[in-house]
């Protein structure tokens, strides 16, 4: 279906450790900011899609998460759809909201993502991540990760997954070791991703971490799961992000003169594919390019799912920004840094902006919208008109469980 939803307003909280702030307050802050940005009233919202991944495990809030958050700011009566789709929860909420506006069902809707991951009991947090795989195969998955670590001489990665850290860092580490062996990608290239994103994050007042790091500091940091040191891994975090979407008719009524439109939004799940067969990310990207009538060469700015530093290099390849195995070259040549041909993760990415999983996908849309509107301050990409968001979550077999690619155009 051809999308034509317009972004009328965006808002988000600062991402970080908010032990004393509940999910209602975080979500409410993001919605309030987006409503103010759009110049509308709360009761103008006709429907809402609310993304959240982990509240059931971390806080115990199940079943009516979106309704609880929105009622906390006095927003009721409207239909609320709760969206849970691992780290792709928020981008899935946007995907569904944009489709309903484009189909003519509503003129003005809300997409919200919100997450509370910090907890005094860290096993609750890590337990939420362990549920983003096929739990009936969990023992087999853990045994496979341990075997991969042993074969690669990775001592840290051989134990502690799911108890001392998110098991997904071990999954990323295993894929990273494979990529290094097959294509010659180096640990220094992974460190350059973290260095770049730390510089970008230092320019973002809403980022969880604002310190700019050097490659040397990143390589000298504590090892989490070989070859990933701590700055190569996205942190847990709390936060919220919200987007107001409107129809083209409503955009004219609101006086939006240079609209940012959702040109395409493609959501797919993974499948049992052959080892060298392109996965869900490439499938989504190709479909999104076709729907938006653009290609990777047309992208001015990208927000990708760098849950680990190697994941950003994988994304370059999945999105067609370079050939398979050449992702390291892009970071070496500065192509994806501010000032380069296609800046990636100008927000700091998940590595530095933070990764409250249920809010991440919409935080990407906030960053891209502000970039296309020319209001990103010191990290502004001059003349940006086309932005792409790449957001995935969960793992089943050898592929991501859920993957969404969204393209915005000015």
Which residues are part of the catalytic machinery? 87, 355
| Sequence-separated contacts (24+) of 212-220 with Cβ below 8 Å | 215/188, 215/191, 218/191, 218/194, 219/187, 219/188, 219/191
Handedness of CA 137, 91, 62, 125 (dihedral sign): positive
Contacts of 86 (CB under 8 A, 6+ apart): 53, 132, 357, 393, 394, 401, 402
The DSSP 8-state label assigned to residue 313 in this structure reads H
As a whole number of angstroms, the distance between CA 277 and CA 274 comes to: 5
Helix (H, G, I), strand (E, B) or coil at 389: strand
Strand partners, 245: 7, 109
Q: Are 93 and 113 in contact (CB under 8 A)?
A: yes
As a whole number of angstroms, the distance between CA 380 and CA 344 comes to: 12
As a whole number of angstroms, the distance between CA 12 and CA 5 comes to: 20
Compute how many other C-beta atoms are within 10 angstroms of the C-beta atom of residue 180: 18
Q: Are 350 and 391 in contact (CB under 8 A)?
A: no
Q: Which of 246, 232, 222 is nearest to 10 (CA)?
A: 246
């Amino acid at each position: 279906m051809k999308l034509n939803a317009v972004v009328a307003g965006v808002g988000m909280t600062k991402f970080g450790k908010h032990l004393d702030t509940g999910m209602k307050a975080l979500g409410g802050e993001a919605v309030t900011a987006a409503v103010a940005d759009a110049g509308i009233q709360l009761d103008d919202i006709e429907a809402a899609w609310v993304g959240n991944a982990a509240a059931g495990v971390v806080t115990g809030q199940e079943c009516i998460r979106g309704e609880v958050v929105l009622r906390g700011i006095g927003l009721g009566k409207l239909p609320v759809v709760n969206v849970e789709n691992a780290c792709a929860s928020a981008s899935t909420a946007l995907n569904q909201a944009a489709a309903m506006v484009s189909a003519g069902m509503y003129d003005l809707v809300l997409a919200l993502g919100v997450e509370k991951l910090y907890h005094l009991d860290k096993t609750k947090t890590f337990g939420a991540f362990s549920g983003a795989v096929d739990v009936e195969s969990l023992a087999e998955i853990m045994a496979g990760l341990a075997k991969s670590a042993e074969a690669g001489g990775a001592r840290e990665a051989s134990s502690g997954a799911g108890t001392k850290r998110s098991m997904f860092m071990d999954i990323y580490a295993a894929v990273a070791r494979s990529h290094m062996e097959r294509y010659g990608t180096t640990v220094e290239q992974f460190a350059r991703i973290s260095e770049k994103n730390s510089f970008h994050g230092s320019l973002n007042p809403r980022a969880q971490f604002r310190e700019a790091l050097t490659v040397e500091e990143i390589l000298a940091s504590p090892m989490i799961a070989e070859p990933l040191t701590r700055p190569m891994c996205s942190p847990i975090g709390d936060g919220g992000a919200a987007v107001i979407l409107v129809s083209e008719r409503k955009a004219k009524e609101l006086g939006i003169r240079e609209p940012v439109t959702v040109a395409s939004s493609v959501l797919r799940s993974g499948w049992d594919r052959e080892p060298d067969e392109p996965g869900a990310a490439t499938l989504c990207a190709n479909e999104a390019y076709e729907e938006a009538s653009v290609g990777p060469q047309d992208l001015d700015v990208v927000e990708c799912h760098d849950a680990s530093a190697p994941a950003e290099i994988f994304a370059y390849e999945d999105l067609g920004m370079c050939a398979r195995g050449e992702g390291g070259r892009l970071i070496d040549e500065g192509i994806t840094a501010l000032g380069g041909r296609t800046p990636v993760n100008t927000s700091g990415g998940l590595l530095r902006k933070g990764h409250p999983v249920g809010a991440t996908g919409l935080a990407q849309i906030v960053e891209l919208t502000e970039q296309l509107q020319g209001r990103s301050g010191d990290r502004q990409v001059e003349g940006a008109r086309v932005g792409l968001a790449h957001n995935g979550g969960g793992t089943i077999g050898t592929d991501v469980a859920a993957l969404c690619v969204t393209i915005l155009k000015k």
